Structure 1
Amino acid sequence: MCRRPLIPKAPFLRAFLTLCGSLCCLPALAGPPPATGLQSSQLAVVINDDEPNSVAIGEYYRQARNIPACNVVHVNIPGKPRKLTADQFRHLRNVIELQLPPGIQAVLMVWTAPYAVECNAITAAFTLGFDAGLCEKPCEASKPSPYFNAASSRPYPDFGLRLSMLMPTESVEEAKALIMRGKASGFRVQPATAYYLATSETARNSRSVYFPRSMVLPQQQLTIRTLRADSIADVKDIMVYQTGKAKVEQLETLQFLPGALADHLTSFGGDLLGESQMSSLRWLEAGATASYGSVSEPCNYWQKFPHPTVLLKHYLGGATAIEAYWRSVAWPAQGLFIGEPLAAPYRPH
C-alpha cells in the first residue's frame, strides 16, 4: 500500500469542496429518503452457462427477488479466468448488452471469476468503460465517476451508466444465505451499529478523516462508533464496518445484521482468489451482505475507496446496497463491488 498525496486534484477539488459542505452537517445523514430506488424489475442477472454454480445461484436469486425472466442474460465464460483481456471483455460486454431488455438500470454478474479486466475491476469496466490508460500508471488518479454522491435513482437515463455488482459463486449454500440476508434486510429496521476503525496501519487510514463522529441516530436506530483500534470482537449488531487493514482479525466472532456493508482499505481486497492480502470474500463469508475491494494496486487515495459518510448517508436514505456503494466511490476504476445488490434495510415501506 503505497502512500500518495491525499489532496484532491483539480477539477475534482471543486466538486470535493461542494461535497464537504453537504457532509459537514451530520444531521443530513437522517434526511428524507429518495422517492424511489432501484427495483428488481430494473436489475439484469447475468449467468455464466459454463459454470453450474452460476446457473443454480442465478436462478435462485431471480426467484427470491421476483426478477422477470426476461431480465436474465446468458453468457459463456469457460475456465473461470481471474482476469480478462480488454478484447475478451469487449466481446463479453457486447454479448450482455445485446440481451438487455429496456429499462435496465443495473447488472448483477453471478460468478466469482473473472473479476478483473487487466488492471480494472470488471464491475467498473462494465459500468464506466475499460480504462486502458490506468494500467500504465495504476498508482495514479483515475477517472472520476459521475455517479459519485449522486441522488439519481436512474443512472442509465441520467448518466448513461448501468451500475454493476458481482455475486460470488464459490459455494451455492453461502450464496443462498447471502441472498436471504439481502432479502431479510427489507423487512424492518432494527437497532444496529456502524463501526469505523482507524488502525495501526497508518497508510491504510487515508479515509479515516472522513469517518462520521460517534453519535446516535434515533430515527434509524443506529449508533455510530468511531474508534482507534485494529479490530472489534464479539459484537452482534453490525450494519457497517469500515477499516484499513491488510487482514482483518476476529471476523469469526462477529455477527452482521441483514444488509450489512463491510470493507477494508487495502491494495488487493478485490483480488478475490488471491492470497497476498485478505480477500473481500471474507466479509461475505463472515455475514456481510455487500463489500468492495481493489483488484490492482490503487495506492491509498481515499477517492478509490468507499467514502464513509457518503456511503452511510445514501444507505440511511433508503438506497440499495449497489446504489449506496457506487455513489460512495469517486474513482472506482480499480474497485470491485460484490454482494447482494438489492439489500435496502432503510428503504421506507
Structure 2
Amino acid sequence: MPPRPLRLFRSAADLLLPACCLGLATLLAPCCCLAGGGPENVLLVVNQNSSESLTVANYYTRLRQIPPQNVLYLDWQGDPAQISGHTFRDKILKPTLETIDRRKLSAQIDYVVYSCDLPMRVNFQDFFPGEKFPKQMRPIASITGATYLWQVVLQEEPTLMGLNTNWYVPDAGVQDLARCAEAANAPTQGFRGRYAWRRGGKREADPSKGPRYFLSCMLGVRHEMGNTVEEIAHCLITATSADASRPRGTFYFARNKDVRSTTRHKCFDAVAAALREDGAMAEVTTGMLPKAAQDVVGLTTGFRKQDVAGAGMRILPGAICDNLTSFGGITDKDLGQTLLTSFIRAGAAGASGTVTEPLAIQAKFPLPTIHLHYFRGCSLAEAFYQSVAGPYQLLVVGDPLCQPWADPPDCDAFNLVDDKLVKGPLEIKPRLSSAAGLCELYVDGRLQGALPRGGKISLDSTKLTDGSHEIRLVAVRNDPIETRGRFTVRVDVRNTAAEPIALSSTPERRVGVDQTLELRVDGDASRYVIQQNSRTIGQAQGTPAVLRIEAAELGQGPVALAAEDPVSGRRSAPIWVWVE
C-alpha cells in the first residue's frame, strides 16, 4: 500500500508559517538561512527504508539548506525503539563517524542529527556483561545522549553513565548534580565539534586536552505515542521561521510541590532574575503549567501528567519546553506520563525526556539556565547541552539549529552571483559586517578554509569539475557564541568544451506519491547516476538518458535531485520536485 499523502496546510493557523515556506513555488526556490551553528555543520542521518524518515529529512534538508554530502542514508531495518550497545556502535555510530571522515567533513561537523524512525533507546548492558549498576546508573541511554558522548561509547567506558560527563556545561559543580542549587551566573559560549573541553566549560583547541562531543538531536519521534509526520514537519517549519526573530514573550518557570519540580525549582528565581537583567521577560509561577498564558517562549516545569493541549497556552515559534518526569522520552508505549511529544504537538521547537527511569536527579535534566543560554543567542542544541551535566539518558527532540535570539553577522562578495560563469581563477573577497571576525569558505558544502576580515582567496576552478557548484560564505561573529550568518550562490564552472549536463523531470514540479517520476538528462555522456542528496537512486542511459522511478521511493515533500557523469564527475544543477 502506498503511503498516504502528507497534508500540512489545513487551517488558518498554518498562516503562522514563514512566508518562504507557505507555497510550493517559494519553498522550492532558494531560501536564505539566518541561524547560526549552521547547516554546513550538520550531518543528517536518515533511515532510507522508512518513507516517513525520508519525508522528514526532505523537509529539513530544504528548510535548512543542508548540503547534499551532509546527508547520510542508513540501511536500517532493526528495532525502531531499542537496540543493544554493540548494535548502536557498529550499525549507527561507526558508519556515521566513517562517513564524516570519508567525505572529509571532520573539520566542520558539530551536529549529528537523526530523522525519525531510528531507535531512540540504547541498552549498553552488553558492554558490561554480568556487571550490576546502581539504579541511578542504569546502562540505558538515548540515541542522542549516546551520540553526544561518542568517544566513551567507542571506548566502552562506564563513565558513559556518569553524572558529570559533559564538560561543555559551565561550572558543572557537584552542588547542582543532585538538585539545582546555584546556576544563574553561568557564562554562555558556542560549540564546535573540533573543540575539546575541560571541566567547567573550559574550551581547548587542542583535541588531546579533553573530551570532544557532537551535539545530537532527533528531528522527531513517531511510535505509538509519538508525533505524526505532519506534526514533525510543522515543528521544523515554525522553528525555521523563528530564527533571529527575537520573539516577544515570557519565559515561564512553573513551581509546585512535586519532587519533579523541587529537584530544580530552587534555581528558578535566580535564573528568572538573570533573564530579566539581560532584557527578557521571565516569570516564576505556581502550578504545573502557565495555564492560559498566550506568550510562552520558554518553559521549565516538573509534573507527572497534565493535559498540555487543554491548558490554554500559546507556545510561540522557537520555544523550548522542558518537563522533568521519568518517562517523558518513552514514546513506544503508554506509561501514564506526559511525553515530550505533547509539547512538540503544542508548538514547541524543542523538548526532551528521559528514555528510562532516571530518578529525580538534576544532572540528568536541563538546568533552568537552558533558557538563559538560548536567549543569549545559542542554538537550541547548544542551549540543551550547555545545561545537562549527565545527558546520557536524555532524548532531545526538535530543530537543533533553531536560534530565535541570534544576531547573525552579514556577509557577501560583490563578484558572486547565481549562475555566474567561472573559468580559471576566481578571486573571492568577502564583505563582512562589523560584528564578524572571520569568514569561512565552503565549496559544495565542504570547508576550504577561513579568511580573516579583509582577506581574500583565489579559488582555482580548474581543480573543480565542469558544471554546477555551490559557493557558501559563512561569517562568524567575533564573540564567545560565534553566531554564524551565510551567503550562498551557485556558479557554473566551464573550463573545458564539454557539454553542460541538464536534468529535468516529468511531471516538472509536482508529482503524486503514487505516481512515476521520469527524469531526463541532457549532455554528452553515455551514462549518468541520479542522486537524491548523497544517495544514488538509479542510472540513466541512452539518448536522451531517462530514468523512471516511483515517487514514493523518495519520500514526500521537497526533494532535491541531481545528475552526475560518473566518469568525469561533472554534475548538473539540482532540481527540486515536490512529492505530494
Alignment TM class, shorter chain as reference: 0.7 to 0.9
Corresponding position: 1:226 with 2:247: no
Query: Structure 1 residues 125, 169: closer, same or farther in 2, change over 3 A?
Result: closer
Between stretches 216-225 and 244-253, larger displacement belongs to 216-225
2:215 maps to 1:163: yes
Specify which of 200, 207, 219 is matched with residue 257 of structure 2.
200
Q: 1:128 aligns with which of 108, 128, 149?
A: 149
Unpaired runs of at least 5, structure 1: 1-35
Task: Quote the residue 1:291 is aligned against.
Answer: 351
Please give the alpha-carbon distance, in whole angstroms, between the structure 2 residues aligned to 1:273 and 1:236. 31
* Partner in structure 2 of residue 261 of structure 1: 320
- Provide the residue aligned with 1:172 in structure 2: 229
Q: Kindly tell me: are residues 228 and 115 of structure 1, through their superposed partners in 2, closer, same or farther at Cα, counting changes over 3 Å?
A: same
Instruction: Give distance in 2, aligned partners of 1:319 and 1:79.
Output: 35
Match 1:142 to one of 163, 166, 169: 163
Q: Which residue of 2 aligns with 1:117?
A: 122
Partner amino acid, structure 1, of 2:383: A
User: How far off its partner does 1:180 sit?
Assistant: 1.1
1:202 Cα deviation from its structure 2 partner: 3.0
Over 3 Å counting, the alpha-carbon distance change for 1:242 and 1:217 in structure 2 is: closer
SS at match of 1:308: coil
Distance 1:193 1:53 in 2: 34
SS of the residue 1:333 aligns to: helix
Contact 1:233–1:250 (CA<8 Å) still a contact in 2?
no
Question: What residue is the counterpart of 1:184 in the other structure?
Answer: 241
Asked whether the 8 Å contact 2:217–2:381 carries over to 1, the reply is: yes
Matched, 1:313 2:372: yes
Q: Alpha carbons of 1:342 and 1:204: their partners in 2 closer, same or farther (altered >3 Å)?
A: same
Q: Matched residue pairs, number?
A: 309
For the structure 1 residues 134 and 246, does the alpha-carbon distance in structure 2 shift closer, same or farther, using more than 3 Å as the test?
farther
Larger mean CA deviation between 150-159 and 240-249 belongs to 150-159
Task: Report matched runs for 1:68-87 at 5 Å.
Answer: 68-78=67-77, 80-87=79-86
Give the whole-Å Cα distance in 2 for the aligned partners of 1:169 and 1:304: 20
Query: Partner residue of 1:279?
Result: 339
Once the two structures are superposed, residues 36-74 of structure 1 have per-residue CA deviations (whole angstroms, 9 ceiling, x without a partner) of 941111011111011111111102111111110110011
Using the TM superposition, give the Cα deviation of residue 203 of structure 1 relative to its aligned residue in structure 2, in angstroms. Answer: 4.7
2:53 and 2:399 mapped to 1: Cα distance?
A: 14
Q: Which amino acid aligns with 2:282?
A: I
Letter in 2 for 1:209: K
Alignment check: 8 A CA contact 1:54 1:111 kept: yes
CA shift for structure 1 position 346: 0.5
Could you say if the C-alpha distance between residues 257 and 189 of structure 1 is closer, same or farther in structure 2, counting changes exceeding 3 Å? same
Q: Which moved more, 1:177-186 or 1:251-260?
A: 251-260
Aligned partners of 1:216 and 1:106: how far apart in 2? 28
Equivalent residue number for residue 112 of structure 2: 107
Q: Are the aligned partners of 1:189 and 1:220 in contact in 2 as well (CA < 8 Å)?
A: no
Note if contact 2:36-2:403 (Cα within 8 Å) is conserved in structure 1: no
- In structure 2, how many angstroms separate the alpha carbons of the residues matched to 1:154 and 1:283? 28
Instruction: Show the counterpart of 2:189.
Output: 151
Larger mean Cα displacement after TM superposition, 157-166 or 336-345: 157-166
Say if 1:53 and 1:169, in contact at 8 Å, map to a contact too: no
- List alignment gaps of at least 5 residues for structure 2: 1-34, 124-139, 171-187, 198-211, 223-227, 409-580
More helix by share: 1
Q: Which residue of 2 aligns with 1:97?
A: 97
The aligned residue for residue 64 of structure 2 is 65
- Whole-angstrom distance in 2 between the partners of 1:219 and 1:191: 16
Higher-Rg structure is 2
Q: CA deviation at 1:187?
A: 4.4
Report if aligned partners of 2:190, 2:378 keep a CA contact under 8 Å in 1: no
CA distance in 2, matches of 1:77, 1:112: 9
Mapped partners of 2:295, 2:375: distance in 1: 16
The 3 A distance-change label for structure 1 pair 90 and 345 is same
Q: Secondary structure at the match of 1:227?
A: strand
Displacement of 1:281 after TM fit? 1.0
Q: Deviations over 1:71-103 (max 9, x none)?
A: 001112225521110111011111111112331
Contact 1:166 1:337 in 2 (8 A): yes
Deviations 1:246-281 (A, max 9, x none): 123343422111110001111111112331122211
Letter in 1 for 2:396: F
| 296 and 183 in structure 1: CA distance in 2 versus 1, 3 angstrom threshold | same
Of 246-255 and 256-265, deviating more is 246-255
Higher strand share: 2
Query: Contact conserved, 2:260 with 2:324, CA < 8 A, in 1?
Result: no
CA distance in 1, matches of 2:260, 2:52: 38
By how many angstroms is 1:219 displaced?
Answer: 8.7
Secondary structure of 1:73's counterpart equals strand
Q: Which amino acid is the alignment partner of residue 155 of structure 1? A: G
SS in 1 for 2:299: strand
Q: Is the 8 A contact 1:57 1:172 kept in 2?
A: yes
Q: Shift of the alpha carbon at 1:221?
A: 5.9
> In structure 2, do the counterparts of structure 1 residues 263 and 316 end up closer, same or farther at CA, with 3 Å as the change threshold?
same
Equivalent residue of 2:252, what SS? strand
Q: Tell me the equivalent position of 1:24.
A: none
Q: CA deviation at 1:112?
A: 4.6
Cα offset, 1:217, TM superposition: 5.6
The structure, 1 or 2, with the larger RCO (C-alpha pairs under 8 Å, 6+ apart) is 1
CA separation of 1:158 and 1:202: change in aligned 2, threshold 3 A: closer
* Offset, 1:231: 2.3
Classify 1:346/1:227 alpha carbon distance in 2 versus 1 (closer, same or farther; 3 Å).
same
1:280-338 CA distance string (max 9 Å, x none): 111101110101111111111111110002x1221111110011101110111111111
| Kept after mapping to 1: 8 A contact 2:50/2:117 | no
Q: Structure 1 vs Structure 2: percent identity of aligned residues?
A: 25
